């Protein structure tokens, strides 16, 4: 089995590496020559614990190679980004370009899979594109959609062990795609059609966004009511049928804060809760920034001096070094702009240095600060003793116990 992965990003590269490790001959294609060069040199250009070692192994054995152009293979996987154009309208032009690039290589019996998060109907559109260019391949190739569901930070485990949803344009295509994923997936491979599989991906992340929005809304209500939201949620969750997620300083990363817009763009009238959840989660970050600025102004009025403020955490979620689409980064930037006279110390214990933010050691910042703002519940922060002499804004639930 030879597979050609179109796109060596946060999902394409790990999947290519794991597929190669499980016996598939892989060529990974990327439009960025630096990515190709780095990958062939055994260097990971993305952040994922443990993945670089596996990359080096499969490069050394010759099971994976990166290239700027696709090669004739048995399976083609489209794993390119689907960004937005304009105001949150999904742009499938990269999926289309990657598809066009492999169309001339397709031959009877081949498998074509889209993994990129895509609007519903994209697989059918690409099917039409392929058969428009190569009508002689009708009913002779297999086409399917199979979304990934791995959690950044736990990709090596989840790529192999998660269940997956596989939707072919025909039952035969689904079966053929299942055969492919069986090389490296131990989880159950669930059969469906391509539209349902596309929708399933969008719904999974939207569901989590809506649930987090509920927790974030509760945190705003509790702040006004003078109730500890962490205690409240933990008590409510003792009910056998209640399972509330945790509030935070907003929703970040590249998936949960993005995918709901795909549904909202396509189904604007129906997607009421989904759109509102996006608003609530975005508002929560704004609210955290305002609350911090207000606390800084109050401190100045009461103490007749500027406070030292520790902004604790920049990552988009706890215990990772990934700062992409991070609400903590947004809040820190906003506070620096709005309260630029305060002495602000920025902390991210999982990152050594940053080209925009000057970082301070977390213990030093905590000791020096008058106001401590917890934005991310990193494990390191949980070990800091609670100090009553400091003003603590715990948006992340570091001290929730």
Residues annotated catalytic, as ranges: 201, 255
Which stretch, 29-37, 145-153, 177-185, 348-356, contacts ligand SAJ (CB under 6 A)? 145-153
Rounded Cα distance, 274 and 88, in Å? 14
Rounded Cα distance, 384 and 50, in Å? 28
Query: Interaction with ligand SAJ in 198-227: which residues (CB under 6 A)?
Result: 204-205, 208, 212
Using the minimum distance from each CB to ligand SAJ, give the nearer residue, 141 or 396. Answer: 396
Helix (H, G, I), strand (E, B) or coil at 304: coil
Using the minimum distance from each CB to ligand SAJ, give the nearer residue, 98 or 246. Answer: 246
**Cβ(253)–Cβ(329) under 8 Å?**
no
Using the minimum distance from each CB to ligand SAJ, give the nearer residue, 137 or 375. Answer: 375
- Minimal distance, residue 128 CB to ligand SAJ, in Å: 26
Number of Cβ within 10 Å of residue 355's Cβ equals 4
Helix (H, G, I), strand (E, B) or coil at 292: helix
**Which residues, listed in sequence order, are joined to residue 114 by a DSSP beta bridge?**
78, 145
- Minimal distance, residue 278 CB to ligand SAJ, in Å: 12
Binding mask 228-267 for ligand SAJ (x = CB under 6 A): -----------------xx-x--xxx-xx-----------
Query: Interaction with ligand SAJ in 61-100: which residues (CB under 6 A)?
Result: none
Using the minimum distance from each CB to ligand SAJ, give the nearer residue, 103 or 256. Answer: 256
Token reading at 68: 């700027």
Helix-, strand-, coil-residue percentages of the chain, each rounded to 5: 45, 15, 40
Token reading at 166: 């596989």
Q: Report if residue 7 touches ligand SAJ, rule: CB under 6 A.
A: no
Using the minimum distance from each CB to ligand SAJ, give the nearer residue, 300 or 325. Answer: 325
Number of Cβ within 10 Å of residue 320's Cβ equals 21
Rounded Cα distance, 343 and 250, in Å? 24
Q: Where along the sequence are the contacts to ligand SAJ (CB under 6 A)?
A: 148-152, 204-205, 208, 212, 245-246, 248, 251-253, 255-256, 316-317
């Amino acid at each position: 089995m030879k597979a050609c992965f179109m796109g060596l990003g946060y999902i394409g590269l790990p999947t290519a590496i794991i597929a190669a490790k499980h016996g598939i001959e892989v060529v990974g294609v990327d439009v960025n020559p630096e990515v190709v060069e780095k990958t062939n040199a055994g260097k990971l250009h993305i952040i994922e614990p443990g993945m670089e070692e596996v990359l080096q192994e499969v490069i050394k054995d010759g099971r994976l190679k990166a290239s700027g152009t696709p090669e004739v293979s048995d399976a083609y996987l489209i794993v390119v980004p689907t960004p937005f154009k304009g105001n949150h309208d999904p742009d499938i032009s990269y999926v289309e370009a990657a598809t066009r690039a492999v169309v001339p290589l397709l031959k009877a019996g081949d498998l074509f899979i889209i993994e990129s998060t895509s609007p519903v109907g994209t697989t059918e559109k690409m099917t039409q594109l392929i058969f428009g260019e190569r009508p002689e391949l009708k009913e002779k190739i297999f086409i399917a959609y199979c979304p990934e569901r791995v959690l950044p930070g736990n990709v090596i485990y989840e790529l192999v062990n998660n269940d997956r949803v596989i939707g072919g344009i025909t039952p035969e295509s689904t079966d053929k795609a299942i055969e492919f994923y069986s090389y490296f997936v131990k989880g159950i491979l669930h059969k469906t059609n391509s539209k349902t599989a596309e929708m399933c991906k969008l719904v999974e992340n939207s569901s989590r966004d809506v649930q987090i929005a509920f927790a974030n809304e509760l945190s705003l209500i509790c702040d006004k009511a003078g109730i500890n939201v962490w205690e409240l949620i933990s008590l409510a969750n003792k009910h056998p049928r209640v399972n509330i997620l945790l509030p935070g300083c907003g929703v970040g990363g590249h998936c949960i804060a993005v995918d709901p817009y795909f549904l909202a763009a396509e189904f604007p009238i129906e997607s009421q809760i989904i759109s509102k959840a996006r608003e609530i989660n975005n508002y929560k970050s704004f609210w955290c920034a305002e609350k911090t600025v207000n606390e800084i102004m109050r401190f100045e009025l009461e103490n007749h001096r500027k406070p030292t403020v520790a902004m604790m955490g920049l990552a988009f979620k706890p215990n990772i070094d990934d700062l992409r689409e991070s609400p903590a980064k947004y809040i820190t930037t906003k506070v620096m702009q709005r309260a630029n006279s305060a002495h602000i110390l920025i902390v991210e214990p999982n990152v050594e240095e940053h080209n925009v933010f000057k970082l301070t050691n977390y213990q030093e910042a905590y000791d020096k600060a008058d106001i401590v703002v917890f934005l991310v519940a990193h494990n390191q922060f949980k070990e800091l003793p609670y100090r009553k002499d400091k003003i603590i804004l715990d948006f992340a639930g570091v001290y929730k116990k």
